[in-house]
Amino acid sequence: MSSHPAPSALRNGDALWAALCVQLQEQTTAQQFNTWLRPLRGELHGNELHLFAPNTFVMEWVRERLIDLLETVLGELAPGMMLRLELSTDGAAALAPAAATPVTTAITDPRNGNRLNPGFSFKSYVAGKSNQLAVAAALQVAKNPGKSYNPLYIYGGVGLGKTHLMQAVGNAILQRDADAKVLYVTSEGFIMDMVRSLQHNTINDFKQRYRKLDALLIDDIQFFAGKDRTQEEFFHTFNALFDGGRQIIITCDRYPKEVDRLEERLQSRFGWGLTVAIQPHDLETRMAIVLCKAEESGIDLPEEVAFFIAEKIRSHVRELEGALRRIIAHVNFTHKPYNLDTAREALRDLIDVQKRMVSLDNIQKVVAEYFHIRGSDMQSKRRSRNIARPRQMAMCLTKELTNHSLPEIGEAFGGRDHTTVLHACRQIDKLRQEDTQMDEDYRNLLRILGA
Ligand SMILES: Nc1ncnc2c1ncn2[C@@H]1O[C@H](COP(=O)(O)OP(=O)(O)OP(=O)(O)O)[C@@H](O)[C@H]1O
């Protein structure tokens, strides 16, 4: 667990809840956090932390599924304070009737509504080189749902902003037409909805609910892999919506044809409209995102701090947000200003872990594991391509991620000459331009190495 705030800071309910949120955000998905935890408010009364939910629905949900996690994190954050958790609803909302709606009617449940997060708008979405095509397409779809690109298929790595962009379209459609029937659902949500409808014998209602939508936004479609009944059902939903000129937006972690165990007829339909990628963000975009998130939190973050975060955290936006939250929490507890020193202090653990991950030895180990070759092949004289390429990749990553000199790197890879290392780096750069698989491997390795 990361650096904890001073115990005195935890005697304030807001600060304690803010600190808890920092930890919880690392242990829940963005969707779980934003939907169920972000709306809670914390107050400290004696040794009880009171959490107030905006309504009974949220309260019950948290009580059923997240209370254990909350208690564990609270115990870890404030050991020795013996804090107890109390969960209730906020003021007037407490008068709302308890949630007793069966899940089979989840879509039309006004408390669920469209399941969109209103914070996911175009205004709060930073466009850069990595996502400009996706943003342009999304804006078009928002203007002309069902007409410009249908389906819009957005794919890319974890935490790069697919959900946010997809929901920005949904929110924009609703802004133009408040009566539009828009629904955001994760693929797991779709599956659960379907399974429960089957259990309750209400599959026809399920079909009707989905097929009368004006826009269906379905997230992380890769989880449909191997689920034949779901795919069958989704196929018909897709056709009904498509034929009716209704908008479908799909996100996935990969290109349609690369989703294993997904029926060919779905794969081909997913490519009927426009397929756009979101690439990992470059330094400038990462920095712009950090500044945007800081502004959203009402913080005037110095650019050098945003640059520091963007430079240190290269993986994905969720981690950038996590780093920013840590700095905000640190500043709140220590009452120090936002500057490079406080940023370094707040992120020390994270940077240390990263340093460990990107040591020369670890790069060799991770690359060997990734390509299923022996660790000793990093030093061996074997030249077959299935060994030489991973070795070149590892050399290139070591050059990119560490401060070792070319001769040092050559030495660590079986006493090779520094020109061999240079050649390896050039070769990998070239191959990455020509071969998307090679580029994906490189990016995956960067991600695994936390870089
Ligand atoms: N370009 C961006 N501008 C502003 N915020 C962004 C951007 N990209 C991502 N984010 C933020 O990063 C977080 C993660 O984004 P999101 O959930 O959309 O990613 P994802 O690609 O759907 O991830 P996953 O693969 O896990 O489903 C969100 O809080 C989102 O607001």
The residues spanned by each domain of the chain are 7-95, 108-278, 283-350, 358-448
Ligand 1 atom closest to the Cα of residue 30 is 17
Residue 8 has pLDDT above 80, yes or no: no
Structure-model confidence comparison of residues 30 and 128, the more confident one: 128
pLDDT at 10: 54
| Cβ of residue 221 lying under 6 Å from some atom of ligand 1 | no
| Cβ of residue 125 lying under 6 Å from some atom of ligand 1 | yes
| Cβ of residue 250 lying under 6 Å from some atom of ligand 1 | no
Least confident of 52-56, 183-187, 203-207: 52-56
pLDDT in tens, 285-310: 999 999 999 999 999 999 999 999 99
Residue 147 has pLDDT above 50, yes or no: yes
Q: Measured between alpha carbons, how far is 333 from 382 in angstroms, rounded to an integer?
A: 55
pLDDT in tens, 94-143: 333 333 222 223 333 333 488 899 999 999 999 999 999 999 999 999 99
| Cβ of residue 163 lying under 6 Å from some atom of ligand 1 | yes
160 alpha carbon to ligand 1 midpoint, in Å? 5
Spatial CB neighbours of 11, under 8 Å, sequence gap ≥ 6: 44
CATH of domain 108-278: 3.40.50.300
212 is in an annotated binding site: no
Spacing of C-alpha 21 from chain mean position: 16
| Cβ of residue 193 lying under 6 Å from some atom of ligand 1 | no
419 alpha carbon to ligand 1 midpoint, in Å? 40
CATH 3.30.300.180 corresponds to the domain 7-95: yes
162 is in an annotated binding site: yes
Rounded to 5 degrees, φ, ψ at 21 are -60, -40
Atom 17 (ligand 1): residue with closest C-alpha?
163
Q: Measured between alpha carbons, how far is 210 from 205 in angstroms, rounded to an integer?
A: 9
pLDDT in tens, 354-370: 777 788 999 999 999 99
Q: What fold does the segment set 358-448 form as a domain?
A: Chromosomal Replication Initiator Protein Dnaa; Chain: A; (1.10.1750)
The reply to whether ipTM tops 0.95 is yes
Assess contact for 260 and 98: CB atoms under 8 A: no
102 alpha carbon to ligand 1 midpoint, in Å? 31
Q: For domain 283-350, which CATH number applies: 3.40.718.10, 3.40.50.300, 1.10.8.60, 3.20.20.20?
A: 1.10.8.60
Predicted TM-score (pTM) above 0.90:
no
